[in-house]
Amino acid sequence: MKPKKLKKRIQQLEKRLREGSAKLDRLKRKLQQAESARALKAARKSAARVTASARAKSLKSATGEKKPKRKLNLSPERRAQLAAAMKARWAAKRAAEENSATSSNQNSPAPPMQPPENRGDGV
């Protein structure tokens, strides 16, 4: 092969390699932009979802709308048993509050406690 032809082929190969690397760089940039756009879109969507839920909660609390209570499927015996247990708890709570109110009303301070003396002879 003549040197002129070889030079020409080498130049063509070099040109193709340069174009290939440029094309590769261009595709990498495009991929990076697509990924950042997708991440930005996801962040916006997440923020919109958070603000929408917060807005719905504030709207619910402003209108006084409450979540409906779920009805328990209890037998009449179990319902009576639970009612008795709750009444006992409420009575105990009222009694404790009453006791704490009467003890705080008394103005008799408790006598100060003295630590026991430690003697060297063990007595």
**pLDDT of 90 higher than 70:** yes
Instruction: Answer whether 83's CB lies under 8 Å from 75's CB.
Output: no
Report, as an integer, the average pLDDT of 92-105: 83
Instruction: Answer whether 82's CB lies under 8 Å from 74's CB.
Output: yes
Percent of the chain with pLDDT over 90: 28
What gap in Å lies between CA 74 and CA 25, rounded to an integer?
69
Tokens standing for residue 38? 């997708």
pTM: predicted TM-score of the whole model, two decimal places: 0.35
Which residues are CB-neighbours of 74 under 8 A, at least 6 positions away? 82
Report, as an integer, the average pLDDT of 112-123: 62
Q: What is the pLDDT of residues 48-84, one digit of tens each?
A: 888 888 887 776 666 666 778 888 889 999 999 999 9
